Chain A
Amino acid sequence: MRASTRIIAGIVAAVLIAAAVAAFAIVWRPAIAGIDPPDPQSFDAALVKRGRDLAAIGNCSDCHTPRGAKNFAGGLPVPTPFGTIFSTNITPDPETGIGRWSEAAFRRAMRSGVNREGQHLYPTFPYDHFTNVSDEDDRALYAFLMTRQPVRAAPRENQLSFPFNQRLAIAGWKLLFLRHDTYRPDPRQSAEWNRGAYLVEGLAHCGACHTPRNALGAERVSARFAGGDVDDWHAYAINEQSRSPVPWTADALFTYLREGWHPDHGTARGPMAKVVSNLSSVPASDVRAIAVYTASVSGTPTSGRTGPSEDALARAKKASQTNPVGASIYTAACASCHEGGRPLPYGGVDLGLSTAISSPDPRNLANIVLSGIDAVEGERSPIMPGFAASMNDDQVSALLNYLRARFSDQSAWTDLKKTIAEARRTQTVFLQTSPAPRNAPADPQQREKP
């Protein structure tokens, strides 16, 4: 009896030790020795330039350069269902940035989400996509960042509740959701398609917004590109579930991603504006590759997405009869531009082509109606007045219901009033106290327009 008890105790102890060792192996990451910040002159200029373009494709500045802040100095609050996470300083400041990071430390952060000190990073930093970035591209990104102006800006403390404030938890998350394999080209596809796939699935991390997330904040593999959330906006489905009334083509995507608007689809605003602004400054061939790959992802449209015109006329009549207030607002406030026949970007898109109106989520439409679209200085950009000052929530609701009934074949939105109130709360403050958002390039000195 005693001997067998001892054996069992021994086995239990061995299992516990093995489990502890395994857990330690999963959780623990060594620090990588700090280096003296490298001399910016030591980097090859062509490599830095390539890094600049890659950083623009990666949209790094969107999170790492908050509005009005110094380039790449971090501090943007990113709200998540688990609490608020602040972006970090990725300038080469030795104390508060990544000045002491070796290239190996930078690559480890990109590949496995671990900082130089060995701490696990929250997946708000989309390393689940950056695993796909090649060594050469990581080297170029490193060269670009290490040659930026160092900014002394201490990282802000994340505001997360237990257990999410434990970085151990991230190791568990990685075990469940992080795939370490890098992108492998598909030999059956063209070089351009493969280049696009490499960028979209990797550095450009399109799925971070356009793929819905599960309860633990990981992208749902089974619903790839089926539409997701970003800030107070909906990132539309870009797979076959797209509600775009006219199917996207590679050409349309190229124009949209490059210019920020397309006559068949409307304008890129909200968080997508920054993406487009960044993409307007990188080699056209890369944007073309992204467009080619994305068009293939969106596949063949499901039937019935382009409604016959007699249906449209019947819908218009019915919508006006059932919702005269919405119809009156539309006539005076919307039709003058949207039915003016003036082409984009200065005229309004034919609302029958609007994805915002046919989308299952009304947030983007509410945001745009309330805030409008500010013209961007120095650019041939779309413009629309906001209506927050002239319409109350009931009136906006009447308008949105009218637009939905007239310009889509979808059922009415539910909870519209709540969405509008929320859009007013979050957007009007932003509108009235700050200057208009700028399409800030990744590096204002090096802006290149086609």
Chain B
Amino acid sequence: MMTLKVNGREHQVDAEADTPLLYVLRDDLKLNAAKYGCGLGQCGSCTVIVDGKAVLSCVVPMVLLEGKQVTTLEGLGTIAEPAPIQRAFMEEQAAQCGYCIPGMMMRAQALLQKNSKPTDEQIRAELEPHLCRCGTHMRILRAVHRAARLMDTADVSPAANGSAR
């Protein structure tokens, strides 16, 4: 048994030290936003935020998470009250099949937390580890810019919940 902090809540999970975080999130905690894509850390669809940094949860074993804060897309906002990053992706209609989008949003969120006004170049460089086979890249780019503007004007961001700076 170990304690895992996810989205501000502590969970007691029964997992081996070498179990990837993604499996625990999806199978034990039923947090299904992070997706299993390649399982090799090569596609980005499993990305979550750990202590403010975007990590690939399919290649992060539980042994690395002691005392750390995990944030998943569920921790950013809800259907009723989407976070700026989620609103921006909806408003730009940035998803087609949508499989890669939670990972994209999480890395974009981590980027915006440390750089509130990223340039096009910086967004492209940051999102480079993420694959999207539908080809909505231009909309994703616009959505990240839009999220940056939304965060700038939003008075309260639910994103602050559970994510360390």
Q: How far is the CB of A399 from chain B (nearest CB, A)?
A: 10
Which of B16-24, B96-104, B139-147 lies at the interface with chain A? B16-24
Q: How far is the CB of B50 from chain A (nearest CB, A)?
A: 6
Q: CB of B1 within 8 A of chain A? A: no
CA distance A256 to B20 in the complex (A): 33
* Residues of B with C-beta under 8 A to A327: 18
Q: CB of B53 within 8 A of chain A? A: yes
A332-B18, A332-B60, A332-B61 given as contacts; is B41 within 8 A of A385 (CB)? yes
A328-B17, A336-B40, A389-B54 given as contacts; is B59 within 8 A of A435 (CB)? no
Q: CB of A21 within 8 A of chain B? A: no
Q: Mark B47-75, 1 if CB is under 8 A from A, else 0.
A: 00010011110111111100000000000
CA distance A384 to B40 in the complex (A): 9
What would 6 A/B residue contacts be, using CB atoms closer than 8 Å? A328-B16, A329-B63, A336-B58, A374-B128, A385-B59, A385-B129
If over half of B's interface residues share one DSSP class (helix, strand or loop), that class is named, otherwise mixed; here it is mixed
Q: Mark A334-355, 1 if CB is under 8 A from B, else 0.
A: 0011001000001000000000
* Residues of A with C-beta under 8 A to B121: 435
B17 and A390 form a contact (CB under 8 A):
no
Among A329, A383, A390, max chain B CB count under 10 A is at A390
Chain B 1-56 residues near chain A, CB threshold 8 A: 16-20, 39-42, 50, 53-56
Q: CB of B133 within 8 A of chain A? A: no
Among B20, B42, B121, max chain A CB count under 10 A is at B42
Interface size of A as a range: 20 to 34
A385 and B64 form a contact (CB under 8 A):
no
Q: From B16, B54, B64, give the contact of A395 (CB < 8 A).
A: B64
Q: Mark B110-126, 1 if CB is under 8 A from A, else 0.
A: 00000000000110110
CA distance A324 to B62 in the complex (A): 13
Q: CB of A46 within 8 A of chain B? A: no
A336 and B39 form a contact (CB under 8 A):
yes
Q: From B16, B53, B124, give the contact of A389 (CB < 8 A).
A: B53
Q: CB of A331 within 8 A of chain B? A: yes
CA distance A389 to B52 in the complex (A): 9
A332 and B125 form a contact (CB under 8 A):
no
Interface size of B as a range: 20 to 34
A391 and B64 form a contact (CB under 8 A):
yes
Lowest 10 CB-CB distances: which A-B pairs, in order? A332-B61, A385-B41, A328-B18, A331-B18, A389-B53, A328-B17, A390-B55, A328-B63, A435-B125, A333-B59
* Residues of A with C-beta under 8 A to B19: 332
Q: CB of A434 within 8 A of chain B? A: yes
* Residues of A with C-beta under 8 A to B40: 336-337, 340
* Residues of B with C-beta under 8 A to A69: none
CA distance A328 to B62 in the complex (A): 9
* Residues of A with C-beta under 8 A to B42: 346, 383, 385
A436 and B64 form a contact (CB under 8 A):
no
A325 and B63 form a contact (CB under 8 A):
yes
Q: How far is the CB of B83 from chain A (nearest CB, A)?
A: 21
* Residues of A with C-beta under 8 A to B41: 333, 336-337, 384-385
Among B20, B58, B64, max chain A CB count under 10 A is at B64
New A-B pairs, 15, CB < 8 Å, besides A329-B63, A336-B41, A389-B55: A325-B63, A328-B62, A332-B20, A332-B59, A336-B58, A336-B59, A346-B42, A385-B59, A385-B129, A390-B56, A390-B60, A391-B64, A395-B64, A435-B121, A436-B128
